[in-house]
Amino acid sequence: MEAVTHKGRIVAIDPEITTIEIIAESACASCHAKGICGLGEEKVKQVQVRTDAWHPRQVGDEVEVVLKKAMGYKAVFIAYGLPLVVLFVALMVLGGLGVGELWSGIGAIIAVAVCYLVIFLFRDKISKEYTFYLK
């Protein structure tokens, strides 16, 4: 199974959910000149993982968080690919209907905004499909 893994630290444990803090580094964060450059950035993200209560873990433990690679590709498509398709379809349809370029552009932007609104409204349903595991 191909998977994306990140090292993290447990920050909270509930009976069914474990909250893990992951430090996401940019590609240049490991560069020896990052202190001088200032372009390298680190972001702290928290991920909630469903876990069994019987598993012996404690706050502060180092763990590895795993997500199937296919789920990552699906997330990228939902976040970037789908709105891009909506943008191009809206531009083509509005342009084909004879609407001016300005209004076609505005309509396409509105269509992308509606697309992101739909993604936002279905975020709970979408997030249930993405399951993180602990290694």
Single out the residue of 79, 101, 80, 83 nearest to residue 92, CA to CA: 101
| Residue among 22, 30, 31, 28 at smallest CA distance from 4 | 22
Length of the chain, please? 135
Alpha helices (runs of H) in 9-135, residue ranges in sequence order: 34-37, 69-76, 82-96, 101-121, 123-129
**Any idea which of 4-13, 65-74, 109-118 has the lowest mean pLDDT?**
65-74
Q: Does the global pTM surpass 0.75?
A: no
Please give the torsion angle defined by the CA atoms of residues 82, 89, 115 and 41, in that order, rounded to the nearest 10 degrees: 50
Lateral strand order in the sheet of 17-25: 42-50, 17-25, 3-13, 62-68, 133-134
SS3 124: helix
Q: What is the pLDDT of residue 39?
A: 46
- Output DSSP code: residue 54: T
Residue ranges per domain, the chain?
3-134
> Taking 60 as the threshold, does the pLDDT of residue 33 lie above it?
no
The CATH number of the structural domain formed by 3-134 is 2.40.50
pLDDT one-digit tens code per residue, 112-125: 999 999 999 998 88
How confident is the model over 95-118, as pLDDT tens digits? 999 999 999 999 999 999 999 999
